[in-house]
Structure 1
Amino acid sequence: MNIPAIDVRGLRKSYGDKAVLDGVDLTVAPGTVTALLGPNGAGKTTTVHILSTLIRLDGGVAFVNGCDVARDPDGVRAAIGLTGQFSAVDGLLSGEENLQLMARLRHLGAKRSKTRVAELLEQFDLVEAARKPLATYSGGMRRRLDLAMTLVATPSVIFLDEPTTGLDPRSRHTMWDIVRALVVEGTTVLLTTQHLDEADQLADRIAVLDGGRIVAEGTPEQLKRLVPGGHIRLRFADADGLGRAASLLADSTPEDAALELAVPSDGGVGTLRTVLSRLDEAHIEVDDLSIHTPDLDDVFFALTGRAEPEDTPS
């Protein structure tokens, strides 16, 4: 039986009388990406810091790669990599020197260190800038270097705490490609992010954290189906077709000027098939159709009462 890469049960953490985590349960399968979403103060970063052994839990149990974070922190540290919200690179060193320093700290040995540094410089497209001072690096280059340093010891589990904050769209997409490549190679990723589109793009599963608890969990598509508002939009050639379809399909909403009809839908194929079959039986022609489902912004608002995550860390 496969051991979960991350297994959290009843996780609790308080600061004074403030309960930051209040019984969090979370399981992450090996070789997958799970995104933690939540408003400011929900406990996302606290969860990552507990799992990476930076702070101690107050209650519950947490295992990373089969190691208990409370009883075997060294085992956890040997299996993980952590990229925090801010780059941890040394600005006085070059990119190559930063990687060499990390390799020495990880006790890779001279020969393995040289090979691993060369591999990472190539993988992260930093070969040309390897010996240049970090003052010449863009934000995206610094972030790639930061992640490369996390990967020096080839961790099996990586925690990415808002890895693309402050990056331009091109650099964000580059980071996404790197994360996808790591997962293809079997790496497990736990991601916190303020960008809902990032979670949608990368995550196999999403856990929504609010008030110190997981309030919803599932694939992006499963979470979107929790929120009402999905519909099929049909467009007709003339007002007669629109009127007949509106009479036929209960709860539908016509838009006369656009000759369009919005039909409530759960986003499933079955609903679409039923609607088209009824129109076909009534000999009503449809010029065009599109399927609209709630996005993660809608999910976030419905589950946490906020339109989007705040930009400050939690």
Structure 2
Amino acid sequence: MRFIGRSGDGGPEVLQVEHGPVPRPRPGEVLIRVQALGLNAPDLMQRRGLYPPPADASPILGLEVAGEVVAVGQALEGASAGPAVGDKVCALVNGGGYAEYCVAPVRQCLPWPDGFDAVQAAALPENYFTVWINLFRIGNLQAGQSALVHGGSSGIGTTAIQLAHARGATIYATAGTDEKCALCRSLGAAEAINYRQQDFAERIKALTGGRGVDVILDMIGASYFQRNLDSLADDGRLVTIAVLGGDKVDGLKLSQLMRRRLTLTGSTLRPRSAAFKGEVADALREQVWPLLSGGAIRPLIHAVLPFTDAARAHTLMESGSHSGKIMLTL
């Protein structure tokens, strides 16, 4: 099979088409003939040598795919029936997505929502797993509450805005251009703040009458830390999922957390167990997939490129000019 390998750690130019054996599904896995796959920030980090895969995962890049099941591994004892040969699925995988064939744990597979094609289905797993875990499970965002999402025009951001809005929360977002802010509003954000022109903490205070928001989904980290705290309501939750602006915070006053009962937390997805990811998949199937099938929410796709143009796709993603997902097709 063909897959996208690397000549070494570095920029997009290290990506190249290579050939290797088709993987075989282990017990509790299926083999998917990949028709489309999505790019994600961890792919860029792994390409640079900054995000090694788990020991039992494929070293090939790629965390989400969609395609057809072509083989099924031995069923695990006590496991419920999973996808069958011929089923069309999308899957959150632990690696190996940039390839013509990819193995996926059975419990991390989900059916294509009604009316979806391979590209749309492949745009779902990484973003929806991440948003569900962090905004709703860890952040405990409820209908009637409010949230601030940084990077509102990203794949994560556009997913969070739509899903929070559909579930009855008030959502605010930050983005880097007026055009991206307009996009966030069109997806359901009550307001979007151009962080290059306005201090988002001051704007959030004004928008909420000085109260702040209940939850912040943050992918920036240290450089936003104090302003994030200033933007939270009492009993608010700051959930960090990336540290693009640094991971070391100086001058934290613990008394501020105590006095205002703030919660600081975060997570990474890839190292979590298949059992945990399976629980998340079950929740998505029950509570989110009907919204997708009914057209209430949709993945926002910026560009679709051929599989062999992986380097160009990485260059586009690193430029920051995109809104939503960048996809590759086979």
Q: TM-score, normalised by structure 1?
A: 0.26
Larger helix proportion, structure 1 or 2? 1
- Greater relative CO, 1 or 2 (CA 8 Å, sep 6+): 1
Q: TM-score, normalised by structure 2?
A: 0.25
